[in-house]
Structure 1
Amino acid sequence: MQFSKKWIGATLAAVLMGGLLAGCSSGNENASNAKSSESAVPSGTASPGEKQENKSPIKITWFVDQDYYKKNWDPENNLLDKMITDDTGISIDFTSGNSDKLSAIIASGDIPDVITLDKGSPQRGVLEKSGLVSPLDELIKQHDPDFLVPKSMQDWFRNPDGHFYGFASFFWAKESFQPGDRIRSNQGLYARQDIMDQLGIKAEDFNTKEGLVSALHKVKESGTKYNGFTVTPAYFESWIIGNFFGAPREDSQGNLIDRERTPEMLEAYKFLNRLYREGLMPEDSQTLDKNQIQEKVTNGAVFAFTNRTIDWSALYQADPKAVFVHVGPVAGDSGSKQYVDPVSSSGWTLSMINSKTKYPDRIIKLFNYLSTEEMSLNVNYGPKGAAWNYDENGKVKLTDEFNTLNAEDANKAKLKYGNGTLQWLINWLPIQRTTPATSTEDARIKEESTIYFADFTYDMLPFESITPLGGTEEGGINAKIEEQRKKQRAKMILAKSEADIEKFFNEEIQREEKLGYQKLYDYQNKQFQEAKKALGMTFAWPANQKK
């Protein structure tokens, strides 16, 4: 059956205006009823390929709503592709594109066998309401009852009709946590150990604002040069410093707090402005993107930064003494407990199955296969045996062949082993548990930093439901406010005086009120309350949970 563009367009409008799946929350009666049912055990109990009875060759189509993603299925040369095709009989024809291309595909009514899209995409609601994709719970019941999807994933993505339609990548299912498991963060505070040693700077100096400022002044006043570059003391991000200062996200009555409007965030702007005015953080800290700062780090031209996704591996390879270690986190004036935001608990993408596919039984079994714990390792590293094996402690040990090729040419390694090329149903927990023993100093330090800052994270899941979908009135207000805030952050950090910062801070609040802030906040707080209810929470912020 073909769906007309007019009908799809009407459905899109109804979905967006009706708030279907707003914020990907499950605060509804069906979700509540589902929570009382027997808990499902997380997927991953079977070995990859163990229950693939039908291995007759078929080819399925799979669209990924990510412009950058390019993959050609090549079982003759790619060992991961070969493993999957040998185990399942399935070859995959991948295509990719942006949100506009996905909308055009949906409007045509003729969609690929599988679609992967961002979990918060407005097209998600269109697909579910239109009948273009099948409920995964029904496919599982009919074709693969051994496929045990984590109950928390089912509940979080459950549609008001009682079904869930997509499998999430990188979803942190709390019921599958084991002792020692922790959710990681991409936020932190890192400084060059070699420069610290040269200048007599201690890690504990970064625990206080004055200690941190003093440490950065030592770097500036030393005029330290590296590879011909004068080392810049700091590249810090405002929201991370605000977290360190303890900016809360929920009040004592359980209502959502916009941390951007808190005294702790104002304190963070004043602190960063002080660093700027004292020549410790440059003006381009507000204009350079991550890749540009990454380049500076690689050149050895940065002493300290806050974004963990910036990689210093290339710098370490050139100079094994040049490593970044975790320091701080710096405390604010209130002495409130410091926090860092974890990576998204509810995952990244959702993969959904065409309701008209010729192969519903084969694809749902493929989903089961790809989501098993050991398959997550294969997807991340390449096939077991060729790219890795378990060591005597149950950790991943990469093969010499893989390490050699990966060191010579990482792209060639990907083409041969397929590592990191098919992560649309991946579970990160088994990867985290089996991380290879560190073979280099920078790898050891990175692992220590991950563990260190994981102790400052909190359960962010209920806060992940508050972002309004694009195309809604609230979504439009949110986009305007975020655009304005980005400009205002830079204006405050680069202000000429501390008095100007308070003026700009208050002006921004007044400007946002005129843009419809109250309507946006009411929506966000409603979503927040529904998410907590669905999760069985009274309070979400750690300080409130202890009361």
Structure 2
Amino acid sequence: MQRKAITLAMLTAIVGMGTVLSGCGGPKEEPPAASGNSEGQQSPFETKLKITMFNQGTFNAAAPIPPREEDIQRQMLEEAVNIDLEMMIPQSGQATTKLNTLIAGGDIPDLIFLKSRADLAQYYDQGVLADLTPYLDQFPELQKRFSSDSWEAVTYQGQTIGVPGYDNVNGISRSYFIRQDWLTKLNMEVPTTPDELFEVMKAFTEKDPDGNGKNDTYGFIGGMNKEGNLQTYGFDSLMWMFGVNPPSAIDVKDNEPVFLYTDPKMKEALAYIHKMMEAKVVDPDWVTMNTPDLLDQKLFKGKVGFMIRDARRLEPDYQQKMKEISGEVPEWIVIPPMTGPYGDQIVERKSFQGNSWAISKKADKEKIIRILSMLNYFFTDQEAYPNFAYGIKGIHWDVVDGKIKNKTSELSKDMKEKYLWVDHYRMPRRGDDAEYFSFQNPKTAEAFENNQKYVAPTLPGNLLTEDPNDSLAADRQRYINESLVKFMTGKEPLSNWDNFLDTLETKFDMQRYKESVIKQFKEAGLIK
């Protein structure tokens, strides 16, 4: 049934294209009487077009491009919309140089994958990219495939200049891990609020939960990256309990920008973390935790009772590492995030849709419609989905007991290497598709799926582009990072909070920054 719906969307696009082209004498394509689909039936397009694709969105840039006769996914795309697809995969780290060389030589690819909104806006400003606004209403299924904030991310100066590239994955990397065996020993329940969590962390630190008679356990471990940013290392998750986040987090409320790092709630979040520091429930090694690997070592050693880590640490390979390092497999479980004092229950914010597909301005209307038809099929055809998301039927996936089963994790190393090229086509995989990951431990899939309800919408601040005239941007960011760390550790008393705000205004020209933010939010239609 879904294939018919997709074909109808394509036919609608063709009718719309005919309407557009009739006014300028362009060619028309009449849809065939029969419906086309992903099993090789006739495409609704009669004339074959060559489409060049610059695919830096591949999930494996090192994988070779197979010959057309072996490339099943390529064949599906070509047959679905009657195209000759020529795909370029730039080498890792050389994509920008390669693309700029092509553009400079006038050989602009028809379809370009871009990794950031900044690149999308820059190439549009340079006249390289087409405005897709006049065409997208002809593809309602494609529009429904991505969330409104993903479409906002590819909107610039009121025009839609791209199609979202692929879903970012949320609800797995920042999971709330806690030691169930320690809770059981101390006769405590899974915490559900910040206050309950504090009491649990305190007990984990003081009551010898591992029973070795030593004062060698802690309630929590976090960290910060080498630039001094607290995001993604655990402390930011504690701040989300209060509905705020470290630098770059900007919301819009009551037609005004709200800088969450200066919001009064941030002061409360910092007070909570400072309380943890004073109670010595935070492993003092947190100041050296500046890579994810170091935090993993703490997880494996099992001397910390609560931390924020990736739910995939429940997978067998990581469980084995725990056994090798600590001599046991601690009973880690993933729990829901705490419900904060203002009702916030956030595991993380949805990642910003930075990546996108853009179409060359050199493409005529016929080619734009054909490319959008291909993307429509690529992202919305449900029967084709496993062929792109998982790989090749019978090798990477199959139907077991009437359900699709991803078998990738069961493949030998040789088989995985033989078919590395399927990674060039995985973009349609949904960010909340547990089957895509082929989890081996059912608890991992359960944690991933449960976390989805706690992924909050992305913040509008992600839409901002840096003001090139803001010479204080880097110093301002550094000052904010350093101040938050000083407040939460007690090196700077929270009684100096107002001084922090005043310094931002006077020394770092916060007002000018606010004006730039308001201007961009108005251009995006987020502020009237």
Fold-level similarity (TM above 0.5)? yes
State which of 73, 77, 84 in structure 1 corresponds to 2:74.
Answer: 84
Give, in whole Å, the separation in 2 of the partners of 1:251 and 1:158: 18
2:175·2:310 contact (CA, 8 Å) conserved in 1? yes
CA drift of 1:404 comes to 2.1
Q: Which residue of 2 aligns with 1:324?
A: 332
- Secondary structure at the aligned position of 2:130 is classed as coil
Q: 2:107 aligned with 1:115, yes or no?
A: no
Cα gap change, 1:443 to 1:77, in 2 (>3 Å): farther
Q: 2:523 aligned with 1:520, yes or no?
A: no
Give, in whole Å, the separation in 2 of the partners of 1:444 and 1:363: 35
Q: Which residue of 1 aligns with 2:262?
A: 261
Cα gap change, 1:530 to 1:196, in 2 (>3 Å): farther
1:62·1:94 contact (CA, 8 Å) conserved in 2? yes
Whose Rg is larger? 2
Q: Deviations over 1:101-148 (max 9, x none)?
A: 378448725444433223421x3223223332233456779xxx6685
Give, in whole Å, the separation in 2 of the partners of 1:521 and 1:377: 46
2:201·2:305 contact (CA, 8 Å) conserved in 1? no
CA drift of 1:502 comes to 1.0
Q: 2:391 aligned with 1:382, yes or no?
A: yes
2:77·2:378 contact (CA, 8 Å) conserved in 1? no
**Aligned AA (2:419):** K
Q: 2:83 aligned with 1:75, yes or no?
A: no
Give, in whole Å, the separation in 2 of the partners of 1:210 and 1:501: 25
**Aligned AA (2:294):** Q
**Aligned AA (1:397):** K
Q: Which residue of 2 aligns with 1:480?
A: 475
CA drift of 1:243 comes to 1.9
Q: Deviations over 1:62-106 (max 9, x none)?
A: 15289x962433336997x43324652535220043786378448
Give, in whole Å, the separation in 1 of the partners of 2:258 and 2:410: 50
Q: Which residue of 1 aligns with 2:7?
A: none
Cα gap change, 1:322 to 1:291, in 2 (>3 Å): same
State which of 399, 409, 424 in structure 2 corresponds to 1:403.
Answer: 409
Give, in whole Å, the separation in 1 of the partners of 2:102 and 2:348: 33
Instruction: Structure 1 unaligned segments of length 5 or more: list them.
Output: 1-44, 173-181, 539-547
State which of 100, 122, 127 in structure 1 corresponds to 2:123.
Answer: 127
2:472·2:508 contact (CA, 8 Å) conserved in 1? yes
2:113·2:165 contact (CA, 8 Å) conserved in 1? no
Q: TM-score, normalised by structure 2?
A: 0.69
Cα gap change, 1:423 to 1:478, in 2 (>3 Å): farther
Give, in whole Å, the separation in 1 of the partners of 2:40 and 2:320: 38
Q: What are the equivalent positions in structure 2 for 1:23-172 lying under 5 Å apart?
A: 47=38, 52=43, 60-62=52-54, 64=56, 70-75=61-66, 81-85=71-75, 87-88=77-78, 89-95=84-90, 96-97=92-93, 101=97, 104-105=100-101, 108=104, 110=106, 111-121=108-118, 123-136=119-132, 148-150=141-143, 152=148, 157-160=154-157, 163-170=159-166
**Aligned AA (1:305):** M
Q: Which residue of 2 aligns with 1:41?
A: none
CA drift of 1:425 comes to 5.3
Give, in whole Å, the separation in 2 of the partners of 1:346 and 1:437: 25
Q: Deviations over 1:306-344 (max 9, x none)?
A: 354673423335569545323464455xx3212326543
User: What is the RMSD of the two structures over their aligned residues, measured on CA atoms?
Assistant: 4.5
1:168·1:351 contact (CA, 8 Å) conserved in 2? yes
Q: Which residue of 1 aligns with 2:4?
A: none
Q: 2:295 aligned with 1:280, yes or no?
A: no
**Aligned AA (1:511):** T
Q: Deviations over 1:16-53 (max 9, x none)?
A: xxxxxxxxxxxxxxxxxxxxxxxxxxxxx964866656
1:379·1:418 contact (CA, 8 Å) conserved in 2? no
- Secondary structure at the aligned position of 1:261 is classed as coil
CA drift of 1:289 comes to 2.3
2:399·2:405 contact (CA, 8 Å) conserved in 1? yes
1:225·1:231 contact (CA, 8 Å) conserved in 2? no
Give, in whole Å, the separation in 2 of the partners of 1:71 and 1:78: 20
2:186·2:209 contact (CA, 8 Å) conserved in 1? no
Cα gap change, 1:283 to 1:489, in 2 (>3 Å): farther
**Aligned AA (1:370):** F
Q: Which residue of 1 aligns with 2:204?
A: 218
Q: 2:441 aligned with 1:447, yes or no?
A: no
Q: Which residue of 1 aligns with 2:242?
A: 245
Give, in whole Å, the separation in 2 of the partners of 1:57 and 1:414: 32
Q: Deviations over 1:417-464 (max 9, x none)?
A: 6565544455436x36x679976343244235424xx2x44444xx32
2:182·2:209 contact (CA, 8 Å) conserved in 1? no
Paired positions, count: 454
1:232·1:302 contact (CA, 8 Å) conserved in 2? yes
**Aligned AA (2:516):** Y
Instruction: Structure 2 unaligned segments of length 5 or more: list them.
Output: 1-35, 79-83, 223-233
Cα gap change, 1:169 to 1:307, in 2 (>3 Å): farther
Q: Which residue of 2 aligns with 1:9?
A: none
2:311·2:334 contact (CA, 8 Å) conserved in 1? no
- Secondary structure at the aligned position of 1:515 is classed as coil
Cα gap change, 1:170 to 1:74, in 2 (>3 Å): closer
CA drift of 1:470 comes to 3.2
Cα gap change, 1:445 to 1:302, in 2 (>3 Å): farther
**Aligned AA (1:164):** T
Q: Which residue of 2 aligns with 1:509?
A: 501
Give, in whole Å, the separation in 2 of the partners of 1:258 and 1:197: 41
Q: TM-score, normalised by structure 1?
A: 0.67
1:78·1:415 contact (CA, 8 Å) conserved in 2? no
Q: Which residue of 2 aligns with 1:338?
A: 344
- Secondary structure at the aligned position of 2:129 is classed as coil
Q: Which residue of 2 aligns with 1:291?
A: 293
Give, in whole Å, the separation in 2 of the partners of 1:435 and 1:148: 22
2:348·2:456 contact (CA, 8 Å) conserved in 1? yes
Q: Percent identity?
A: 15
CA drift of 1:350 comes to 0.9
CA drift of 1:414 comes to 6.0
Give, in whole Å, the separation in 2 of the partners of 1:85 and 1:216: 59
Q: Deviations over 1:440-492 (max 9, x none)?
A: 343244235424xx2x44444xx325553135335x54443222222223223
State which of 425, 428, 432 in structure 1 corresponds to 2:431.
Answer: 428
1:219·1:233 contact (CA, 8 Å) conserved in 2? yes
Q: Which residue of 1 aligns with 2:193?
A: 207
Give, in whole Å, the separation in 2 of the partners of 1:306 and 1:438: 19
1:134·1:353 contact (CA, 8 Å) conserved in 2? yes
Give, in whole Å, the separation in 2 of the partners of 1:412 and 1:523: 52
1:60·1:90 contact (CA, 8 Å) conserved in 2? yes
Give, in whole Å, the separation in 1 of the partners of 2:151 and 2:474: 29
Q: 2:466 aligned with 1:470, yes or no?
A: yes
